[in-house]
Amino acid sequence: MAVVTYREALNQALAEEMERDPDVFLMGEEVGVYNGAYKVSKGLLDRFGELRVVDTPITELGFAGLGVGAAMTGVRPVIEFMTWNFAILAFDQIFNSAAKMRSMSGGQFKMPITFRGPTGAALQLAAQHSQALESQVAHYPGVKVVVPGTPADAKGLLKAAIRDDDPVCVFEGEMLYNMKGEVSEDAELVIPLGVADLKREGSDVSIITHGKMIHVALQAAAQLEKDGVSAEVLDLRSLRPLDTDAILNTVAKTNRVVLLEEGWPYGGITATIAAMIQEEAFDELDAPILRVTQADVPMPYAKGLEKIAKPSAELVIEKVNRVLYR
């Protein structure tokens, strides 16, 4: 194991998969000469050449659709969005083409494409650059969605995404690129989609979350421990497929649940999970399920407003105390 950053872990995943399979190529804005807007593709142009590391014009709908058409006829594109905010321009191609091609062709065309880029709020980037869109994308049957929260997960999940024959959307944490962690050097270490990871064991309450928010949850859990509360933190890693067994197991273990996501509450993945738990494990619950999400507003620019709009460890602790009737 070596300690590398989340950014380097993604870079390793791309390089290893491109090395392994000549059909894999990377396309997006600034991925080549500039080495990536967030330097995730650093060195790849030199290593693989301009046929396989392709700088595009700023034309998200166009190059997303290009990837879908290419995937339909047998190659394995990795389409990088500079951020998922800009991918909104490409949603027609993700939702209307990639998600539906297999189904509406009666299974004749596979769709081995990966869409990836950073999600969520960074610091004071204001309304249009601060959105966590993974719940919206997971809404569409036909796509898969993963949201890695650590360097090891980033590498293993991106490799799984590239090898998958379905369209996989990888939501990277914009604030996680510099985060360091232990990452395997084994080029065959792939983390299967749809498998959650227990990031912390506990017995009093389950905090279920994904992506960057696992660090907020872990921070809250550390604080709660000082208060004598044992919180379990379940990292979903993948939103579709969703590891519902892992969710039901932790619910059965602690009987109390706080759901945490970076995005908005309306129609968010936490709403889906809350519905699922009450449908399938109502008798296991000792308290209502509570949620922590971003404030239900477009992200404001002002530092103080942004701070209170984002989910925080304080908000998580407050909700944990409520489900524990403390």
Partner 1 sequence: MPETKTRREETTRPESPEDRAPDAQASEAQGEPDREAQTAEKPKLSDEERLQGLEPDKLRRIAYDMLLARRFEEKAAEAYALGKIGGFCHLYIGQEAVATGAIHALRPDDYVMTAYREHAHALQCGIEPNAVMAELYGRADGCSKGKGGSMHMFSAEKNYLGGHGIVGGQIPLALGVAWKIKYRGEDRVMQVYCGEAAVNQGAFHESLNMAALWKVPLILIVENNRFGMGTAWERASSLYDIYRKAGAYAMPSAVADGMDVLDMYRVTREAVERARAGEGPTLIEARTYRFVGHSMSDPVSGVYRTKEDVEKEKANDPIRIYADLLARVGILSQEELEKMDEEVKALSEASADFAEKSPEPGPDELYTEIYAEENVAGRLYFDGRR
Which residues contribute to the site for partner 1 (CB under 8 A)?
A: 25, 51, 56-57, 59, 61-75, 77, 92-93, 96-97, 101-110, 141-142, 144, 164-166, 192-196, 238, 240-245, 272, 276, 279
Q: Is 60 a catalytic residue?
A: yes
Residue 193: DSSP 8-state = T
The active-site residue out of 17, 29, 60, 134 is: 60
Amino acid at 195: V
Report the nearest approach of partner 1 to the CB of residue 107 (Å): 3
Measured CA to CA, the distance from residue 116 to residue 83 in angstroms comes to: 8
Q: Which is nearer to partner 1, 194 or 311 (CB)?
A: 194
Q: What's the closest the beta carbon of residue 102 comes to partner 1, in angstroms? A: 6
What's the CA gap between 243 and 234, in Å, rounded? Answer: 10
Which is nearer to partner 1, 64 or 179 (by Cβ)? 64
Q: What is the 3-state secondary structure (H, E, C) of 129-143?
A: HCCCCHHHHHCCCCC
Rounding to the nearest 10 degrees, give the CA dihedral for residues 107, 73, 170, 106: -10
Minimum CB separation of residue 260 from partner 1 in Å reads 19
**Closer Cβ to partner 1, 158 or 229, answer by number:** 158
How do beta strands 290-292 and 257-260 pair? Answer: parallel
Closer to partner 1 by CB, 98 or 224: give it: 98
Backbone angles phi, psi at 159, to 5 degrees: -65, -40
Tell which residue, 231, 237, 220, has the closest CA to residue 161: 237
19 is annotated as an active-site residue: no
Q: Of the listed 129, 139, 225, 318, which one is catalytic?
A: 129
User: CB of 121: closest distance to partner 1 in angstroms?
Assistant: 27
Q: Name which of 129, 293, 111 is nearest 216 in CA terms.
A: 293
Please name the amino acid found at residue 203: S
Taking the least distance from each CB to partner 1, the nearer of 12 and 270 is 270
For residue 197, the tally of other CB atoms under 10 A from its CB is 20
**β-pairing verdict for 197-200 and 231-235:** antiparallel
CB of 320 to partner 1, least distance (A): 26
Q: Are strands 238-240 and 144-146 parallel, antiparallel or unpaired?
A: antiparallel
Q: Which residues are catalytic?
A: 60, 129
